[in-house]
């Protein structure tokens, strides 16, 4: 098997739940040797999160921990503390997602580790940051979504604030943590020194506001929920059809002209209310009323075929099964199987050092013997 881009990099992963394990799984996919440190009683919380469960355990846990080795340690036990210190001494990267200050009290904080492993990249993930005020707040993705404003912009205009279908802020935080860690590893090649990388869920949530955050910061206007519509582009939303919903993404005026030609309504593109994107946003309600009547006459499949052939971005709202089938039909091979565990393939495609999962997610303490022996060597 081709060595991964991070082959030879040792990762000590003290993190748990989602953001940290996703970050370390990303490095594992790229070839790093990730050693997952878990509490002896029960391990990572996500091992109990379900249903659904399969023979190998919680599917939640299985989705975040492939390619790792599991070592159970009681970080309050002196003998296990010694093994943890030795692992931190050997590691290139350390991930942790305890409440700020916890690793310091246990003796494995950044300031302690850098004294005996100055080359370590030490990545800390928290909910609200490491200030005294932030550290005092417990946090999960749902809470951060609510308090960051993210939920306030999600959902129907006349409905309640909603969360997305996945723990989106945790996911973003994991990817930001992986990115920051890789940047620090690259800088280490120049300086020879590691550094402390900190990523907070609240920071990630605010960054993920993207254009909505920029709009507020530069105008002072609070954004409103717009459902599946886009606040700055029209038409850019879903429409009911004869058989299901259709997503339509008209990103510029040229596409809008092609779109109007294809639906047999070229005059819409020259209507002064709709001739430019800015005007279409202002007159969105009138435009959507017209288009909704047109889309209701045919199926989502027919509209997708017609509009795609005309160079107009459109597609059906797939369920999860249909989404995997669609990706497979495109040749993306979205599913990998690891000793009976099915997993979504890494989206990173490197030509020489592909991101290839090395093993199924580990059982709790599965690698205790080999890792304890290795850490006890001279």
User: 24-81 pLDDT, tens per residue?
Assistant: 999 999 999 999 999 999 999 999 999 999 999 999 999 999 999 999 999 999 999 9
Residue by residue, DSSP assigns 109-123 as SHHHHHHH-TT-EEE
Tell me the percentage of the chain whose pLDDT exceeds 90: 96
Residues 169 and 261 in one domain: no
pTM of the model: 0.94
pLDDT band at 1 (very low <50, low <70, confident <90, very high): low
**Contact between 312 and 259 (Cβ < 8 Å):** yes
Angstrom distance (rounded) from CA 337 to CA 355: 14
For residue 169, the enclosing domain spans: 10-208+346-376
Distance CA 122, CA 96 (A): 8
- Check whether residue 39 and residue 183 sit in a common domain: yes
Which pLDDT score is estimated for 327? 98
Same-domain check for residues 304 and 182 = no
Q: Quick check: 242 pLDDT over 80?
A: yes
Distance, in Å, from the CA atom of 326 to the CA atom of 317, rounded to the nearest integer, reads 11
pLDDT tens digits along 277-336? 999 999 999 999 999 999 999 999 999 999 999 999 999 999 999 999 999 999 999 999
Do residue 181 and residue 301 come from a single domain?
no
The catalytic residue positions are 170
**One domain, residues 192 and 311:** no
CB atoms within 10 A of CB 150: 24
Are residues 37 and 73 in contact, defined by beta-carbon separation less than 8 angstroms?
yes
- Is 224 contained in some domain? no
Which CATH number belongs to the domain containing residue 302 in this structure? 3.30.1540.10
Is residue 332, in this structure, part of any structural domain at all? no
Number of structural domains the chain divides into: 2
Are both 180 and 271 inside the same structural domain? no
CA 269 – CA 182 distance, rounded (Å): 47
Q: How far apart are CA 114 and CA 195, in angstroms?
A: 8
- The answer to the question of residue 204 being in a domain is yes
Residues paired with 72 in a beta bridge: 38
Q: Any idea how long the chain is? A: 378
Q: What is the pLDDT of residue 378?
A: 61
For residues 197 and 301, membership in a common domain is answered with: no
Q: Is 341 helix (H, G, I), strand (E, B) or coil?
A: strand
Residue 330 maps to a domain: no
């Amino acid at each position: 098997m081709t060595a991964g881009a991070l082959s030879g990099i040792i990762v000590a992963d003290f993190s748990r739940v989602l953001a940290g394990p996703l970050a370390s799984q990303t490095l594992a996919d790229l070839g790093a040797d990730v050693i997952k440190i878990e509490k002896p009683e029960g391990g990572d919380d996500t091992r109990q999160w379900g249903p659904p469960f399969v023979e190998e355990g919680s599917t939640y846990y299985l989705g975040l921990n492939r390619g790792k080795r599991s070592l159970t340690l009681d970080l309050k036990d002196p003998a296990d503390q010694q093994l943890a210190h030795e692992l931190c001494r050997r590691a290139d990267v350390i991930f942790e997602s305890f409440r700020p200050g916890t690793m310091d009290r246990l003796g494995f904080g950044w300031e302690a580790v850098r004294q005996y492993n100055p080359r370590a990249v030490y990545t800390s993930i928290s909910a609200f940051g490491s200030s005294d005020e932030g550290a005092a707040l417990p946090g999960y993705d749902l809470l951060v979504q609510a308090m960051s404003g993210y939920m306030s912009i999600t959902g129907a205009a006349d409905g309640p604030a909603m969360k997305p279908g996945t723990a989106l802020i945790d996911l973003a935080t994991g990817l930001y943590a992986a990115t920051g860690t890789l940047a620090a590893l690259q800088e280490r090649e120049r300086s020879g020194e590691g550094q402390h990388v900190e990523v907070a869920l609240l920071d990630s949530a605010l960054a993920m506001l993207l254009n909505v955050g920029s709009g507020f910061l530069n105008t002072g206007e609070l954004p409103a929920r717009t459902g599946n519509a886009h606040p700055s582009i029209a038409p850019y939303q879903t429409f009911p059809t004869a058989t299901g919903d259709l997503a339509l993404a008209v990103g510029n005026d040229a596409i809008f002209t092609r779109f109007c030609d294809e639906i047999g309504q070229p005059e819409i593109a020259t209507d002064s209310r709709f001739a430019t994107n800015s005007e279409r946003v202002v007159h969105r309600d009138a435009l959507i009323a017209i288009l909704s009547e047109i889309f209701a006459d045919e199926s989502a499949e027919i509209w997708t075929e017609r509009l795609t052939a005309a160079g107009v971005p459109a597609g059906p709202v797939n369920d999860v099964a249909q989404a995997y089938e669609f990706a497979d039909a495109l040749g993306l091979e979205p599913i990998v199987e690891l000793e009976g565990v099915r997993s979504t393939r890494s989206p990173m495609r490197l030509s020489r050092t592909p991101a290839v999962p090395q093993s199924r997610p580990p059982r709790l303490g599965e690698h205790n013997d080999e890792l304890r022996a290795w850490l006890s060597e001279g």
